[in-house]
């Protein structure tokens, strides 16, 4: 088995407190987990009628404050977007681990932590429930980057080596910088995923252990056909998908592809070709 290093249920009443952020159309809130832990989240509220809900799962060491470029763009398209913090695989946990371990070791420990994935799945469920209370119509989509992409594929039904089972609670899935077989997924882990899936990577989106970006396309070839998209962006890096590159052109190409996938409906028709993007469908 090729080893790869990746950067990345019980519903209680939701506790939430909102604070308006004038720079973005967003609100901060708290979600209450089954263990009574309060989980921070950011909600991006559409100005017009809501067309559906979108939950974004951040990468290892991230927080609810990340992926604003994507969440804000979704809200402008009419989606109620929520970015929950993942407490067991967030900024503070990674920071503490980096005091004791080298970066590769710290990240490897985090992305193979079964408990972290279990709480991630609970947190995205809480975020979805909070959003559904305010936007009961339309589809629900889960988007994730890096470790969030692994979370997304597990939730969609991928077999895994961390002993966690997804509940398939979303209508569509978007995995940015996904993983191939290795530390998290065995070979052929994705053969049972039937829902529509968009996978995205870039030609400079190498995995942490040095593997080529092509390893991130493995799941696309393994999933059964039926509204499965793979987008490869020329020169895109891991940071571009994480919103840390300050490249508006890359961000627009990413969000435009996401919108085409979400707006494709049951026909799931590929959009017109875009310069710098290779997009294929199964």
Q: Which residues contact 265 (CB under 8 A, 6 or more apart)?
A: none
Report the distance separating Cα 152 and Cα 239, nearest Å.
Answer: 18
Give the CA distances from residue 129 to residues 63, 94, 134, 136, in Å, rounded to whole numbers and listed in that order: 19, 28, 9, 9
Q: What pTM was estimated for this model as a whole?
A: 0.90
What's residue 206's pLDDT?
84
User: What pLDDT, on the 0 to 100 scale, is given for residue 115?
Assistant: 97
Contact 196/268 with Cβ under 8 angstroms?
Answer: yes
| pLDDT computed for residue 5 by the predictor | 29
pLDDT at 209: 66
As a whole number of angstroms, the distance between CA 79 and CA 47 comes to: 10
Output the pLDDT for position 210.
64
Residue in the block written with tokens 């049951």: 266
> Residue 139's pLDDT is what?
97
For 56, residues 6+ apart whose C-beta sits below 8 A from its C-beta are 67, 70, 71, 81, 82, 83, 143, 144, 145, 148
pLDDT, averaged per 10 consecutive residues of the chain (282 residues), comes to 33 32 70 97 95 97 96 97 97 92 91 97 98 97 98 98 97 97 95 97 84 92 96 96 88 96 88 95 94
């Amino acid at each position: 088995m090729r080893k790869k290093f990746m950067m990345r249920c019980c519903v209680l009443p939701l506790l939430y407190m909102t604070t308006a952020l004038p720079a973005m159309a967003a609100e901060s809130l708290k979600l209450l987990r089954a263990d009574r832990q309060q989980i921070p989240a950011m909600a991006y509220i559409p100005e017009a009628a809501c067309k559906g809900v979108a939950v974004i799962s951040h990468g290892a060491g991230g927080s609810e404050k990340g992926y604003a470029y994507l969440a804000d763009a979704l809200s402008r398209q009419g989606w109620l977007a929520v970015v929950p913090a993942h407490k067991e695989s967030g900024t503070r946990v990674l920071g503490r681990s980096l005091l004791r371990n080298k970066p590769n070791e710290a990240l490897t420990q985090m992305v193979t932590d079964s408990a972290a994935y279990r709480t991630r799945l609970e947190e995205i469920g809480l975020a979805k429930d909070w959003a559904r209370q305010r936007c009961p119509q339309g589809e629900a989509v889960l988007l994730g980057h890096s470790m969030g992409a692994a979370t997304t594929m597990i939730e969609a039904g991928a077999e895994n080596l961390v002993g966690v089972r997804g509940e398939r609670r979303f209508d569509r899935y978007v995995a940015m910088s996904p993983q191939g077989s290795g530390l998290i997924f065995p070979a052929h882990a994705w053969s049972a995923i039937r829902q529509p899936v968009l996978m995205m990577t870039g030609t400079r989106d190498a995995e942490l252990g040095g593997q080529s970006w092509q390893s991130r396309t493995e799941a696309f070839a393994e999933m059964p056909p039926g509204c499965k998209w793979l987008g490869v962006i020329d020169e895109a890096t891991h940071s571009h998908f994480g919103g840390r590159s300050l490249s508006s052109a890359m961000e627009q190409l990413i969000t435009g592809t996401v919108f085409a996938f979400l707006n494709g409906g049951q026909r799931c028709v590929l959009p017109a070709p875009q310069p710098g993007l290779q997009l294929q469908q199964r």
